């Protein structure tokens, strides 16, 4: 039998945890950036090409925020010209199961909607 008071506490804890995750991963572009970097280190211009619709200014802002939250690491190579690249940290890679779940759900949803409209 369910205990309403314990259910309420569990619900509040879940909502708080989702809020915390969305605070770090929310917005339109962060999950796209994670998906792009999932396949390895990339330069800024490569990420910009991967994600259609994002502006350079927004990408810079999102990368900076993700670096602050320890999801990505920025590397500056002292070559000529200087090369700046980004890669996911080990902590950032812990998001992979979330990306996989979202991608799976998104594919299933697309199929459901396409078949519903026929």
59 domain-assigned: yes
Max CA-CA distance within the chain?
68
Average pLDDT over residues 85-93: 97
Which band of pLDDT confidence, cut at 50, 70 and 90, is reported for residue 4?
Answer: confident
65 domain-assigned: yes
68 domain-assigned: yes
Lowest mean pLDDT, pick from 15-24, 37-46, 49-58 = 15-24
Q: Tell me how crowded residue 19 is: count the other CB atoms within 10 A of its CB.
A: 10
Alpha carbons 71 and 50: distance in angstroms, whole number? 18
Say which CATH number the domain at 60 has: 1.10.10.10
Partners of residue 63 on adjacent β-strands: none
Q: Enter the pTM of the model.
A: 0.78
Number of domains in the chain: 1
Partners of residue 83 on adjacent β-strands: 77
Find the domain containing 38 and state its range. Answer: 28-117
Alpha carbons 48 and 61: distance in angstroms, whole number? 12
112 domain-assigned: yes
32 domain-assigned: yes
* pLDDT at residue 22, rounded to an integer: 86
């Amino acid at each position: 039998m369910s205990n309403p008071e314990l259910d309420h506490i569990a619900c509040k804890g879940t909502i708080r945890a989702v809020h915390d995750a969305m605070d770090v991963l929310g917005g339109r572009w962060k999950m796209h950036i994670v998906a792009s970097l999932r396949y390895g280190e990339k330069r800024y211009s490569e990420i910009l090409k991967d994600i259609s619709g994002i502006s350079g200014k927004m990408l810079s802002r999102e990368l900076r925020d993700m670096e602050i939250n320890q999801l990505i690491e920025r590397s500056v190579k002292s070559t000529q010209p200087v090369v700046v690249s980004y890669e996911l940290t080990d902590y950032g890679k812990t998001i992979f199961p979330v990306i996989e779940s979202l991608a799976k759900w998104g594919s299933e949803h697309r199929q459901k909607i396409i078949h519903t409209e026929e």
